Chain A
Amino acid sequence: KAGVTQTPRYLIKTRGQQVTLSCSPISGHRSVSWYQQTPGQGLQFLFEYFSETQRNKGNFPGRFSGRQFSNSRSEMNVSTLELGDSALYLCASSAGNYYGYTFGSGTRLTVV
C-alpha cells in the first residue's frame, strides 16, 4: 500500500513569489490535512479537506490556501512568500475520525 506522497521534496523560492505544493493521500483516505513545522513554532495546523471541502482552517493568513480534488489529491498554495514561510510543510491523510494521521515526508520550502 503506497504511503502519502508529497512533491516536491525541496523548494527554494524568492520573497514575493508564490508556490504550490502537492500531496497524494493513501488510496481510500478522503481526509487530507496540512501542517507547517518550524523549530520555533512546532507543528502548526494549516487546514483540513474532506471530500473536496475545507472542513477546518488554522490561524494562518489568507496567503495560505488549499484545495482538494475529486481523487482526494490536495494542493497547497502560498502567495507572496515571506522569509518566515521557510519551513517543512507536511501533509497527512486519514481514513476517518477514529483513525490516526499518516504523514508524508514533507516539502522543505526555503524562501530567500
Chain B
Amino acid sequence: DAKTTQPPSMDCAEGRAANLPCNHSTISGNEYVYWYRQIHSQGPQYIIHGLKNNETNEMASLIITEDRKSSTLILPHATLRDTAVYYCIVTEWGANSKLTFGKGITLSVRP
C-alpha cells in the first residue's frame, strides 16, 4: 500500500504557480519524501526530495510541514509541458530503497 495520499487531479493556468499537496501522516523519522512526475508514455522524471527541511532546485520547491505529515510541491511558473502525473513517495534512504508508486495526481496546465 502506498504511504501517501494525493488528490486525483488538479489544474492550473499557464504561468501561475501549481501547488501539489501530499499527505504522509505515517511517515517515520528515517523516511524521505520524493517527488517524481510522468509525462504520458515516458519514464518517470525525478523532481526533488527532502527529509524535513524545505528544498528548492531548478525545477520546483518542496515544502514539508514541521510535523512532516504532509508536504507541498510547488512549480513556480507552470507551463503546458508540466502537464503530467505527479507522484509523491516516501521511502527510506538506502541502496535498495524501493519506490512504491501510488496513483499520483494528474496536473493539467491550461493555456
Q: Do A and B come from one complex?
A: no
Chain A residues near B (Cβ < 8 Å): none
